[in-house]
Structure 1
Amino acid sequence: MDTTIGFIGTGVMGKSMAENLMNAGYTLSVYTRTKEKAKLLLDNGAAWKNTVAELAKEADVVISMVGYPQDVEAVYFGENGILENAREGTVVIDMTSSKPALAKKIYQAAAEKNIHALDAPVSGGDVGAKNGTLAIMAGGDQEIFDQALPIFNVIGSEIILQGEAGAGQHTKLCNQITIASNMIGVSEAIVYAKKAGLDPTRVLDSITTGAAGSWSLSNLAPRMIQGDYAPGFYVKHFIKDMTIALESAEEMGMSTPGLSLSLKLYKELAEKGEADSGTQALIKLFDN
């Protein structure tokens, strides 16, 4: 693998994604605001870069996996950002869940510098990141998507180009809208099983394989039962995604009552001190 990948952001998911790329033989350089978070990668041979600019100058492909749209904006724009420092022909891939309009802005600004941009948010949480089975939803040009596909194949298993720039982000918002209402149902079902005197784990054995089945039911409900609220995906980041989705829906003149209720409940959960917990902590609002 003679492609050098610069990876920005080594949080819960980014760390595993970067590790899988290294294990596949890619040369990896890393930048993250907290160097300690990259320690495992650095110990295993990744090269540390002190700034985004330094990383962008040396990479053939730059992948960003940061927290919020303002973080994306900060790493891509400005004199120290990716676009001012990457070489012509570099492929830049933002895998953060962010705003479709920002993805289009990056694409257009990159094209002016002969840099190729894709938006490619993911779904699958910490489990998918560790196993290399993330769903990857891409927006951008077919030719550049095809060029990036070997990289995507290392970290994902369901990889689809959804359309032009911004289409990947719109698809991720569809994903989050679906999960939003589902998480309420999963939480209520577990609490209902307990109050009915049932063994909730045994109940899951029945309902995960039927019409109620979902990724959240299979992967997060067991954590709810065990009282494991460690983040596979942070409450604070889910709130960010749902807020973007709600704003986008409103711009299209669309009503999303399920999304609105879920956002309200998750904000309540965050106010109770659970912003850094995993999304499965929603059950705490029901289980009392």
Structure 2
Amino acid sequence: MAGAGGEDKTKVERLGYLGLGMMGLPMSQRLLEAGYDVMVWNRSTGKATALVEAGAKLAGVPRDVAESADIIFMCLTDAAAVEEVVFGSDGLATVAGAGKLVVDFSSIHPDAARAIAARLRLANGMGWIDAPVSGGTVGAEQGTLAVMAGGDAADVERARPYVLAMARRLTHMGPSGAGQMTKLCNQVIVGCAMAVLAEATRLATNAGIDATRLPEALAGGFADSIPLQLFVPRMAQGIHSPPLGHIATMLKDLDTVIDVARNTSSPVPMAGLAAQLFRLAKSARGADADALEIYKLSAAQNR
């Protein structure tokens, strides 16, 4: 069978994907488009309909995926969801796991990633890579995600061709937990950027400047960035559907940053302020609102 790009492989492994949310659905779709055999599972089966129509096999419980697949990808909401899928009554830990590998795209605490990896290896010998992603739903749809991985180098190389069917870049950052730690650094930058860009966009709007032209005006200068080009037009025009990411997700990650910073004596004043702004946004706009609605916090009451 040919894999991504049509090249012949001496061994093309059977794949599974658990969690078909905003990221998991387009990522698993790209695996199917690359010609791989994929078994999928989601708590609400309706989300799998389009994938099944495209050729995916549907599993009833996570255990079914673990029994069928050699490499199991997953992208879940938080550490509690990961724990349930791995160690629940029908979880990954209930099957013979020697030779199998889990690649977890979820964003969870580095300590949780290390603990889950060690516990699963002890339970059934299954390998684990923590591999959170950056690039949002647009990156998932276009295959331009950046993936930062923690785990055994040989496991990362084993997973690389399949990950690169879903992403532009896969960087091995070190042992277990290193991928999650790198994602936290990413979220410091992205979370603070959202807050700062919301401030700049509001300043332009209140001063009578067309904020939608800021990306054009600042392109190529020191203020230029992917967040500037992507976020500011959406803020200024009120484009929040589909969301690029949920407020609750960004707040979860920034709160994890603060916890790790406390344990490592690392000052994170900017990330701490961004977390408080997202906490306000969660209260004002709702947990599932687009993270870019942080811009609406500064709107006058009559707007």
Answer whether TM exceeds 0.5 for this pair.
yes
Whole-Å Cα distance in 2 between the matches of residues 259 and 51 of structure 1?
38
* Residue 189 (structure 2) aligns with: 178
Which position in structure 1 is the counterpart of 2:288? 276
> Do 2:172 and 2:179's aligned partners in 1 also have CA atoms closer than 8 Å?
yes
Q: Shift of the alpha carbon at 1:255?
A: 2.1
Letter in 1 for 2:164: N
Other-structure match for 1:265: 277
Q: 2:56 aligns with which of 33, 41, 46?
A: 46
User: In structure 1, what is the equivalent of residue 256 of structure 2?
Assistant: 244
Match of 2:20 in 1: 10
SS state at 1:228 partner: coil
**Conserved in 1, the CA contact under 8 Å of 2:105 and 2:133?**
yes
The residue aligned with 2:211 is 200
**Contact residue 214 and residue 232 of structure 2 kept, 8 A:** no
Corresponding residue for residue 154 of structure 1:
165
Asked if the contact 1:274/1:281 (under 8 Å) is kept, the reply is: no
Query: Greater CA deviation, 31-40 or 60-69?
Result: 31-40
Is 1:144 aligned to residue 122 of structure 2? no
Q: Deviations over 1:21-71 (max 9, x none)?
A: 110011111111111122211221111111111111111111110101111
Higher relative contact order (CA 8 A, sep 6+): 1
3-state secondary structure, aligned to 2:165: helix
Q: Within 5 Å, which residues of 2 pair with 1:122-137?
A: 122-137=133-148
For residues 156 and 133 of structure 1, what CA distance do their matches in structure 2 show? 5
Segment drifting more, 41-50 vs 18-27 = 41-50
Query: Per-residue deviation at 1:262?
Result: 0.9
Distance in 2, matches of 1:86 and 1:35, equals 25
Deviation at 1:88, TM superposition (A): 1.4
Tell me how far apart the structure 2 counterparts of residues 51 and 208 of structure 1 sit (CA, whole Å).
48
Equivalent in the alignment of 2:83: 73
CA distance in 2, matches of 1:136, 1:80: 28
> How many Å separate the matches in 2 of 1:180 and 1:281?
12
Aligned residues: 288
Report what 1:88 is aligned to. 98
Q: TM-score normalized by structure 1?
A: 0.96
> Which range moves more in the overlay, 77-86 or 29-38?
77-86
Aligned AA for 2:79?
A: P
The TM-score with structure 2 as length reference comes to 0.91
Residue range with higher mean Cα deviation, 122-131 or 82-91: 82-91
Matched residue SS, 2:213: helix
Q: For residues 34 and 167 of structure 1, do their structure 2 counterparts lie closer, same or farther at Cα, with a shift above 3 Å needed? A: same
C-alpha distance in 2 between matches for 1:279 and 1:210 = 25
Equivalent in the alignment of 2:176:
165
Q: Is 1:180–1:258's contact at 8 Å kept on the other side of the alignment? A: no
- CA distance in 2 between counterparts of 1:102 and 1:87 reads 20
| Partner Cα separation in structure 2 for residue 127 and residue 29 of structure 1 | 23
* Structure 1 residue 117 displacement after superposition: 0.8
Q: Which runs of 4+ in 1 moved over 3 A?
A: none
How far did residue 13 of structure 1 move? 1.1
Rounded Cα–Cα distance in structure 2 between residues aligned with 1:287 and 1:221: 15
Q: Give the gaps of 5 or more residues in structure 1.
A: none
Q: Secondary structure at the match of 1:245?
A: helix
- Contact 2:212-2:237 at 8 Å conserved across structures: no
> Which digits, 9 at most, give the CA deviation of each residue in 1:142-195, with x for residues without a partner?
111111000111111121000000000000000001112211110011111112
